[in-house]
Amino acid sequence: MIIITYILMVIGAFFYAIGGLGIYRMPDLFNRAQAGTKATTLGTLSLLLGIGVANPAWLPKIFIIIIFIAVTNPVGSSALARAGYVTGVAKYEGTVIDEMQGYFVEECEIDE
Amino acid sequence: MINYIVFGLIGIGIFFSLIRLIKGPSSFDRVLSLDVMNIIISGTIVFIAYIFNNELYLDIAIVYAILAFLETVVFARYLEGRS
């Protein structure tokens, strides 16, 4: 049983390292948002589940933390990326498609 | 032994997001790297609870996660409204 805990904890910490590396290496705000948020959400889920396997008495609180982070972390990142898009942060030169091209034109004109 | 491996990997993640916090081109990058650091620290508090075998740290982790989410949303709305 302790082997499962060790494997899950090392997987979670490995995804933390991958998230930090992605937020350092990616060229753009939106790529950074995607890489950092996805990797750290999965890392938190795995690390906390490993600790919950080691101590079964802590499982209710750990499930509360897991559900809270899995719901709120993508919401916060999405709000931040939307604010960046509305404000007009520079995109990466190799961007192939931009599906939100004409959505925020009116808001930008009002703000100006 | 396992504690050193896990803390080393967490330290790599904190270090790279701290570099992005220092040299981010816009303020959105800084807030985003602060968000990632908050999530990593919120998992690290639960790991410290496992090391010290103390259940009190889980409450601290819950409150820290709530405050991290609130901080990200408030900064996003503020930066969007300024424009």
Per-residue pLDDT of chain A (112 residues; tens, 9 = 90+): 889 999 999 999 999 999 999 999 988 888 898 888 999 999 999 999 999 999 889 999 999 999 999 999 999 999 888 888 888 777 888 778 877 777 766 555 555 4
Which pLDDT value is given to residue A106?
55
Quote the domain boundaries for residue A105. Answer: 2-111
pLDDT digits (tens, 9 = 90+) for B18-77: 999 998 788 889 999 999 999 999 999 999 999 999 889 999 999 999 999 999 999 988
Instruction: Read off the DSSP letter of residue B25.
Output: S
Which pLDDT value is given to residue A104?
66
In order of A41, B51, B82, the CA distances from B8 in angstroms are 19, 15, 39
Which pLDDT value is given to residue A105?
60
Residue in this structure with the two tokens 């350092």, named with its chain if needed: A24
- Total domain count, chain A: 1
Q: Nearest 5°: CA angle at A79, between B78 and A91?
A: 95
Which pLDDT value is given to residue B49?
92
Cβ within 8 Å of B, A 5-34? 6, 9-10, 12-14, 16-21, 23-24, 29, 32-33
Quote the domain boundaries for residue B48. Answer: 2-82
State how far residue A42 is from chain B, nearest Cα, in angstroms: 11
Residue of B nearest to A44 (CA): B43
What is A12-64 written as a DSSP string? Answer: HHHHHHHHHHHHHH-SSHHHHHHHHHHHHHHHHHHHHHHHHHH-GGGHHHHHH
Residue of A nearest to B7 (CA): A13
**Residues on chain A touching B28 (C-beta within 8 angstroms):** 29, 80, 83-84, 87, 89
- Total domain count, chain B: 1
Partner B contacted by A95 (CB < 8 A): no
